[in-house]
Amino acid sequence: MSVIIIGAGPAGCEAAYRLARSGESVELIEKEAEIGGNLNNWYQLFPDRKQAADLKAKLRKNIEHPQIHLHLKSKPVAFSRQGDGTIQLTLDDGALITGKALLVASGFRTFDAHRKEEYGYGIYENVITSVELENAFINHQINTSTGHAPKRIGLIHCVGSRDEKICRLYCSKLCCVTAVKQAIELREMLPEAEILCFYMDMRMFGPGYEEMYREAQEKYNIKFVRGRLSEASEDREKRLIIKVEDTLVGKPLKMTLDLMVLMVGMEPAEGNDQLISMLNLQTAPNGFIQVSDPHSGTNCTHQKGIFVTGCSSSPMNLTDTLTDARSAAVTISEYLNS
Amino acid sequence: MSVIDSLKKDIHYIESLNSCMNCGVCTAICPAAEFYNYDPRIIADTVQRQDEESLEALLKSDTIWYCGECMSCKTRCPRGNTPGGIIMALRRASQEQGWFTESEKGRQQFALKRVLGTNILNYGYCITPDIVKPEMHPEQGLVWEWIYEHRDDVYERTHANYRHSGAGTLRKVDDDSLNELRQIFEVTGGSEFMEKIETYSLRKAEENGLDPESYFLQTYMANNGTHGEEKSNR
Ligand code: SF4
Ligand code: SF4
Ligand code: SF4
């Protein structure tokens, strides 16, 4: 009997591969037509600027393992247990899958920036999200809506995070470093542009992150303004007029930008609530899946035999997601052998 | 009682400050911050630090009198604070302690009390055209001067019932209603509060060797024009 994994993003793929290598057979379920999840929206990864496509190719190769059965374009619709605790999952194509353990690796979705209406996403043409900027990098083209190379670009931190107004109190962890990485990438494409990051705190916690921040200042001439965006409006040339306070000077600041990039945060994956209720799990205060213990049970849920990994339980960067997936594989192996 | 303890009893304070992360969103949207040396973020931060010395300095400063209480800050704060509401509590504390007489903008409380506070009790209006004398309001310009001189005719042509009994805009408020209004001020502590402004202000006038009328005119007219630039907010 197998281990069932919901979600074939980086966490699901990595856990599947580790479990398969330790001799388990794995049923890997993915709702999209391809694996990779949010990784498909990234161009280069921090801190080493590895191509996201290369990492995905590696994950893809790993899950070609004979013990892994990949179900693409599939969603679980019903869950039940047999008398001996065996897990039964019905997929939307009618298939019935059984397993001794279930791993939730449903990941996250990025914050819908329309909800922060005062930032003008979907209203003003030159407001884009960090995800859209990654796509622009993939296509090697950065232009304003009027077809010009932007002269001044602002990257706005904490969009969809740390904000009571949209009921997202937590920090999404990866957007500070994403902003620094994207600012450097922008500088490489646009040597003359003025590039500014508007931040509250620089949360550069990972190895090499703080160094990258320093390099952004010293080598790439990126400017950092400590202030959170209050609102944006548009002028006749489709430029953006932004209002922030430069809190280190203690003065309100009005500035014109040619392009504004919103560093969107992480939210529980689409269908997260339904999954939680279908599997009888608990919802954490931040809306993600509650783990059984914040130190010793980070991959365990409140249901026996059901485990969780990656951004299903809280925002994580890619490094931590992959580490967490390996940890989940170990946790599940122990469970199966006990 | 310490300043912070008195603030903690004020409903405006209770409802207005959770915790501030110094993001500056309120300041960026604040119309007062655009023109004056006034920063609602620093107000929230100063209050949450609970340092009595800084709080006393704040209550004695011009700073707390720049806010227009427009409450734009309430709509945006990512921590659910309302700096404009904190200001309401600070103003109240300053009025209760008499510390408003220590700053030029604070002393204007006297002018406000004597003008608006008296008007409401005498006429049932904070402002009626009679009261806006052109010589006291040069900012209203020549057009107002003309309207003021011809106010009976002008308001008649606008179909107002100016200064007459009965229904209609600008009507004379009848005695029964006025008495009721005065009673409301008595019962709710409004009159006592206004008396406090009067007492503290007259004390200040005496301290400065001014008769009440000259002091009133001074609070009405004085403007050092620096908009708080000479002082720090903290
Ligand atoms: S990582 Fe940075 S930008 Fe993202 S929510 Fe946290 S503080 Fe804000
Ligand atoms: S209420 Fe006061 S502090 Fe708040 S935005 Fe209006 S003027 Fe500024
Ligand atoms: S918007 Fe709120 S959290 Fe931000 S500085 Fe103002 S009071 Fe503090």
Q: Based on the domain organization, do A58 and A144 belong to the same domain?
A: no
Contact status, residue A272 vs residue A287, Cβ threshold 8 Å: yes
Give chain A positions within 8 Å (CB) of B25: 228-230, 245
Give chain B positions within 8 Å (CB) of A241: none
Interface contact flag, B25 A162, Cβ < 8 Å: no
DSSP A253-294: EEEEESEEEEEE-EEEPTTHHHHHHHHT--B-TTSSBPPSBT
Q: How do residues A297-337 score in pLDDT, each as one tens digit? A: 999 999 999 999 999 999 999 999 999 999 999 999 999 99
3-state secondary structure at position A100:
strand
Residues lining ligand 2, CB < 6 A? Answer: B 30-32, 40, 67-73, 83-84, 87
Pocket probe mutation, ligand 2, options B67, B77, B105, max atoms within 8 Å of Cβ = B67
Interface contact flag, B28 A118, Cβ < 8 Å: no
Q: Based on the domain organization, do A78 and A115 belong to the same domain?
A: no
| Residue B9 in domain | yes
The total domain count for chain B is 2
Q: With bands split at pLDDT 50, 70 and 90, how would you rate the model's confidence at B230?
A: low
Q: Based on the domain organization, do B83 and B143 belong to the same domain?
A: no
Give chain A positions within 8 Å (CB) of B37: none
| Residue B103 in domain | no
Taking CA atoms, what residue in B is nearest to A242?
B28
Determine if residue B141 is left, alpha or beta; phi over 0 gives left, psi from -120 to 50 gives alpha, anything else beta: left
Nearest ligand for residue A111 CA: 1
Taking CA atoms, what residue in A is nearest to B33?
A252
Contact status, residue B121 vs residue B113, Cβ threshold 8 Å: no
For ligand 3, atom 3, the nearest C-alpha belongs to B20
Q: Encoding tokens for residue A291?
A: 């783990």
DSSP label at residue A67: T
| Model pLDDT, residue A338 | 87
Between CA B104 and CA B106 the distance in angstroms is: 5
Alpha-carbon torsion, ordered A94, A97, A102, A108, to 10 deg:
-30
Between CA A167 and CA A310 the distance in angstroms is: 22
| Residue B230 in domain | no
Determine if residue A127 is left, alpha or beta; phi over 0 gives left, psi from -120 to 50 gives alpha, anything else beta: beta
The residue with greater pLDDT, A227 or B135, is A227
Which of A266, A291, A324 delimits the end of a domain? A266
Whether ligand 3 lies within 6 angstroms of the CB of B24 is answered as: yes
Pocket probe mutation, ligand 1, options A129, A172, A209, A226, max atoms within 8 Å of Cβ = A172
Between CA A71 and CA A13 the distance in angstroms is: 12
Alpha-carbon torsion, ordered B84, B88, B93, B97, to 10 deg:
110
| Residue B7 in domain | yes
| Model pLDDT, residue B224 | 85
Average pLDDT over residues A258-281: 96
| Residue B104 in domain | no
Q: B9: buried, middle or exposed (CB in 10 Å: 19+, 13-18, 0-12)?
A: exposed
Q: Which domain holds residue A205?
A: 110-266
Between CA B171 and CA B124 the distance in angstroms is: 10
pLDDT above 50 for A211: yes
Q: With bands split at pLDDT 50, 70 and 90, how would you rate the model's confidence at B232?
A: very low
| Residue type, position B2, single letter | S
The total domain count for chain A is 2
Interface contact flag, A228 B33, Cβ < 8 Å: no
Within A12-151, strands assigned E span 26-29, 44-45, 50-51, 68-71, 76-81, 87-91, 96-104, 108-110, 127-129
Q: Encoding tokens for residue A332?
A: 């599940």
| Model pLDDT, residue B234 | 38
Interface contact flag, B25 A165, Cβ < 8 Å: no
Q: Based on the domain organization, do A310 and A173 belong to the same domain?
A: no
Interface contact flag, A200 B80, Cβ < 8 Å: no
Q: With bands split at pLDDT 50, 70 and 90, how would you rate the model's confidence at B231?
A: very low
Strand partners, B181: none
pLDDT above 80 for B229: no
Contact status, residue A100 vs residue A58, Cβ threshold 8 Å: no
pLDDT above 50 for A229: yes
3-state secondary structure at position A198:
strand
Interface contact flag, B24 A243, Cβ < 8 Å: no
Q: Which of A98, A75, A76, A73 minimizes the C-alpha distance to A87? A: A98
Q: Based on the domain organization, do A127 and A45 belong to the same domain?
A: no
Determine if residue A89 is left, alpha or beta; phi over 0 gives left, psi from -120 to 50 gives alpha, anything else beta: beta
Q: Based on the domain organization, do A114 and A94 belong to the same domain?
A: no
Average pLDDT over residues A224-231: 98
| Residue type, position B11, single letter | I
Q: Which of A285, A332, A287 minimizes the C-alpha distance to A312? A: A287
| Residue B25 in domain | yes
User: Domain containing A140 — which CATH number?
Assistant: 3.50.50.60
Q: Based on the domain organization, do B208 and B123 belong to the same domain?
A: yes
Residues 6+ apart with CB under 8 A from B159: B168
Q: Based on the domain organization, do A250 and A121 belong to the same domain?
A: yes
Atom of ligand 1 nearest to the CA of A157: 3
Mean pLDDT over the full length of chain A: 96
Which of B97, B126, B149 delimits the end of a domain? B97
What is the crossing angle of helices A175-189 and A130-138, to 10°? 40
Average pLDDT over residues B196-208: 97
Q: Based on the domain organization, do A118 and A236 belong to the same domain?
A: yes
| Model pLDDT, residue A164 | 97
Q: Which domain holds residue B93?
A: 3-97
Contact status, residue A236 vs residue B17, Cβ threshold 8 Å: no
User: Largest Cα–Cα distance of chain B, in whole Å?
Assistant: 58
Atom of ligand 2 nearest to the CA of B29: 5
Q: Based on the domain organization, do A29 and A116 belong to the same domain?
A: no
Residue from B18, B23, B76 to probe the interface with A (highest A Cβ count within 10 Å): B23
Q: With bands split at pLDDT 50, 70 and 90, how would you rate the model's confidence at A82?
A: very high
Residue from B21, B25, B41, B81 to probe the interface with A (highest A Cβ count within 10 Å): B25
Strand partners, A71: A29
User: Domain containing B12 — which CATH number?
Assistant: 1.10.1060.10
3-state secondary structure at position B129:
helix
Q: Based on the domain organization, do B113 and B90 belong to the same domain?
A: no
| Residue B234 in domain | no
Q: Based on the domain organization, do B76 and B133 belong to the same domain?
A: no
Q: Based on the domain organization, do A203 and A316 belong to the same domain?
A: no
For ligand 3, atom 1, the nearest C-alpha belongs to B77
Contact status, residue A129 vs residue A121, Cβ threshold 8 Å: yes
Which of A234, A266, A298 delimits the end of a domain? A266
In the numeric block, the tokens 């009328």 are attached to: B213
How far, in Å, is the centroid of ligand 2 from the Cα of B29? 8
Contact status, residue A103 vs residue A4, Cβ threshold 8 Å: yes
Which of B48, B64, B97 delimits the end of a domain? B97
Contact status, residue A100 vs residue A3, Cβ threshold 8 Å: yes
Q: Based on the domain organization, do B16 and B82 belong to the same domain?
A: yes
Q: Based on the domain organization, do A256 and A157 belong to the same domain?
A: yes
Q: Based on the domain organization, do B29 and B125 belong to the same domain?
A: no
CA triple B226-B115-B228, angle to 5 deg: 15
**Is the pTM here over 0.80, yes or no?**
yes
Give chain B positions within 8 Å (CB) of A231: 28-29, 76
Q: Which of A18, A19, A16 minimizes the C-alpha distance to A37? A: A16
Q: Which of A151-160, B17-26, B122-131 has the lowest mean pLDDT?
A: B122-131
Contact status, residue B135 vs residue B148, Cβ threshold 8 Å: no
